[in-house]
Structure 1
Amino acid sequence: MLSYFFNVMQGETTDTLPRPDVVVGSSFHPLAALAGYFLAKRRKAAFVFEVRDLWPETIIAMGKISRNGPVAVVMRQWEKYLYKRAQRIITLLPSAHEYIGSLGIDSSKVRWLPNGAVITNFNHSADKVRGGPFTFMYFGSHGVANGLAPVIRAFAKVRKEYPALACRLRMVGSGPEKTALRELAESLSTGEDISFEPPVPKSAIPALAAEADAFVVNLRDLELYRYGISLNKMFEYMAAARPILFAGNPKNNMVKDALCGITVAPDDVDAISKGMVAMVQADPYILRTWGSNGRQYVIEHFDYQKLGHDFSRILDEAIANKADA
């Protein structure tokens, strides 16, 4: 990342390119966004700051740094520097303008542009590709932030208390917690009812999703989520026309808004296990309705074709704002 930043700063790799009208700097890494701003300044272009994560709030919420520590202080100065200089600020979180405004930034230049899904990639059939027991599925990262241990414990509770209930849990993906999660499942004697599977390519996700009866997500109960969420996997789950068991309490709850599943308290093993039982025992018509509702909600609000038009409009706004300055 340092090499990338200094290459942009030196200009040897960018000054020979046609002058851009606008440059987008993304906060997937702090230096990437900063490089985007300096490039925009050097080429006299509009600058759009894309905020994928609220730095340093995200790593403070995860307990990685202290709120008043030197790293947080430096990062907060960095974000304010870019917020002030951007013609437009794009955020994935619907209420991030509240946080940005609290820093003394004009929140009128903040635009919400969430993640989404390519709806045409997903088979809209409500029927599971494979037969067998009711299949709960999670695909995505297996990290601390993903809150998967309560899901494992909840499923083990279901298998213990409802041994006749035919269901299984498929955990697909990779991450630093995967070994610990597998060991947890073994310690709870879940046997083959929980499977841990390797990640699949992005192109294989629609076919994988079609093998599920329902998806399960546990969102840790963090103060950070008062600004909302924009989980890539949630849009893909909904696009696949499958119901979702969602354990979470964020500012925006798409499962509740779309009427596409069951919402329970986050990190609550008892509540998640009861939600699983309710999902397995639900009338098939209700499950299909939930799945259809979720897919339709993505079509109307979060299909990438629509989001692409929104992105284009925001770039035009930034260019016009730069010209008027």
Structure 2
Amino acid sequence: MKILYVHQYFITPAQHGGTRSYEFAKHLMSRGHEVTMITSGLQNTEFPVKAGDKVTEHDCDGIRVLSIAAGYNDARRGTGMGGFARMRNFLRFANLATKVGKTVAKPDIILCSHTPLTVGLTGIRLKKHFGVPFVFEVRDLWPDALINIGALRNPLAIWFLRRMERRAYDGADHIVALSPGMKLGVCRQGVAEEKVSVIPNSSDLELFHPDIDGSEHRERLGLRGKFTAIYFGAMGLANGLDYALEAANILKRRERDDIVLVLHGEGGMKSDLKARAAHANLTNVIFSDSLPSKQEVSRVVASCDVCMTIYKATKEVTWSPNKMFDALAAGKPVLINVGQWLGETIEENGCGISCSPEDPTDLADALEKLSADPHLRARMGRNSRALAENEFDRKKLAARLENVLAETLS
């Protein structure tokens, strides 16, 4: 197959963020398929670049990548933007991606990965231009997710995104959802069940591993002699990290200075979170800044005892967070405040503890429980790695995507 793959947030292992589209593209190429990726402002200069008009051509480990001068490549930038500025950037990317896409050789199939939702417009236009099938990957439900966390309240904006959502779903020949909750949300918009496949996020079994030495970062962060839980990922409104600060405050009142929370990453809420932690004198919270590569992130994770997957409490759970799957690969117990399929997966497989999303006392209690029981931590860690290998191996999930593309094309 000749695949035209459009993903605004295409990330390589040398950058920060999820590498799903990179890994899937590599798998497809290893199977003899041709992949051309269109993305936004790829900042990694490690790869050869061929300059063009508003587009640079990269050879990213054999993947032909067309990086266009519209939108932005790092999703964390959006957490500090207003809604209008973000939408303007999204539409610019969708429009220029369409123009650039029309200049490539005719593909056999088009694969567009959302977010943002606007990339669905690119898929529809390129489908019409080339007369080939279009597969739409839904990584988050818009506008539902934005409404649920209170980030979107304007009735006109909601109507506009609802209209765009339905248009993208109707225009796609097949849809890939990253969680059962996302599939349910897609089908609620009138899409037939058989038109939607679930392919969750995957665990990076090579990059994250129980045998990685994290001692350097443990010293750097001053974690010696402390029981440490880490959150690593974006620090935006949807991540709800005030929940972690509340848990830290509870532990402080209980005089559990031996338990430390590390918050690693960047995002629009980071400065506010740091200010709140300083105001409350939360010396048991350590903020860790971005590192040069995801490989370094894996070492920071290795330096800690358990991992936290935290999101803002919402009525519905549709997330498929990279951080949870990488925590499983690292062989760490997982403390998660997200219910339904994510929390159930962790609890039912003995990989950690599911905490109430509304009550940070639950997180504080879970931290105390695990800090007191190294044997329980070890068992949960082994279960985490086993689950990552058996259910969330990236190679297995990439093969499922390949099957979806082949069946859609046929």
Match of 1:104 in 2: 190
User: What amino acid is aligned across from residue 390 of structure 2 in structure 1?
Assistant: E
**Deviation, structure 1 residue 260:** 0.8
Matches within 5 A, 1:76-91: 76-91=162-177
* C-alpha separation in 2, matches of 1:252 and 1:154: 21
Q: Quick check: 1:187 aligned with 2:276?
A: no
**Deviation, structure 1 residue 112:** 0.6
* 2:227 maps to which of 129, 134, 147: 134
Please identify runs of 4+ aligned residues in structure 1 that moved more than 6 A: none
Match of 1:75 in 2: 161
Match of 1:323 in 2: none
> Which structure 1 segments of 5+ residues have no match?
321-325
* C-alpha separation in 1, matches of 2:212 and 2:386: 13
Match of 1:63 in 2: 150
TM-score of the superposed pair, with normalisation by structure 1: 0.89
Structure 1 window deviating more from structure 2 (123-132 vs 308-317): it is 123-132
CA contact (8 A) 1:61 1:223 kept: yes
Q: Residues 203 and 126 from structure 1, CA distance in 2 versus in 1: closer, same or farther, beyond 3 angstroms?
A: closer
The number of aligned residues is: 312
Matches within 5 A, 1:159-170: 159-163=252-256, 166-170=258-262
* 1:45 maps to which of 132, 147, 159: 132
CA contact (8 A) 1:150 1:269 kept: yes
CA contact (8 A) 1:154 1:272 kept: yes
Match of 1:303 in 2: 393
Q: Residues 37 and 288 from structure 1, CA distance in 2 versus in 1: closer, same or farther, beyond 3 angstroms?
A: same
Sequence identity, in percent?
26
Q: Residues 126 and 16 from structure 1, CA distance in 2 versus in 1: closer, same or farther, beyond 3 angstroms?
A: closer
Match of 2:95 in 1: 6
CA deviation vs aligned residue, 1:79-113 (integer Å, no higher than 9, x gap): 11221222210111213232222222212110111
CA contact (8 A) 2:115 2:140 kept: yes
> Which structure 2 segments of 5+ residues have no match?
1-70, 72-90, 219-223
Q: Residues 39 and 275 from structure 1, CA distance in 2 versus in 1: closer, same or farther, beyond 3 angstroms?
A: same
CA contact (8 A) 1:25 1:37 kept: no
Match of 1:286 in 2: 376
Report the structure, 1 or 2, having the larger helix content. Answer: 1
SS at match of 1:64: coil
* C-alpha separation in 1, matches of 2:315 and 2:262: 29
CA deviation vs aligned residue, 1:118-156 (integer Å, no higher than 9, x gap): 201123239863442111111111122112112112122
| Greater relative CO (CA pairs within 8 A, separation 6+) | 1
User: What amino acid is aligned across from residue 22 of structure 1 in structure 2?
Assistant: I
* C-alpha separation in 1, matches of 2:301 and 2:386: 16
**Deviation, structure 1 residue 196:** 0.9
CA deviation vs aligned residue, 1:226-247 (integer Å, no higher than 9, x gap): xx32111111111111112222
* 1:26 maps to which of 107, 113, 120: 113
Match of 2:363 in 1: 272
CA deviation vs aligned residue, 1:220-266 (integer Å, no higher than 9, x gap): 221231xx321111111111111122223234323113211112211
User: What amino acid is aligned across from residue 297 of structure 2 in structure 1?
Assistant: I
User: What amino acid is aligned across from residue 211 of structure 1 in structure 2?
Assistant: S
* C-alpha separation in 1, matches of 2:163 and 2:103: 32
User: What amino acid is aligned across from residue 384 of structure 2 in structure 1?
Assistant: G
TM-score of the superposed pair, with normalisation by structure 2: 0.71
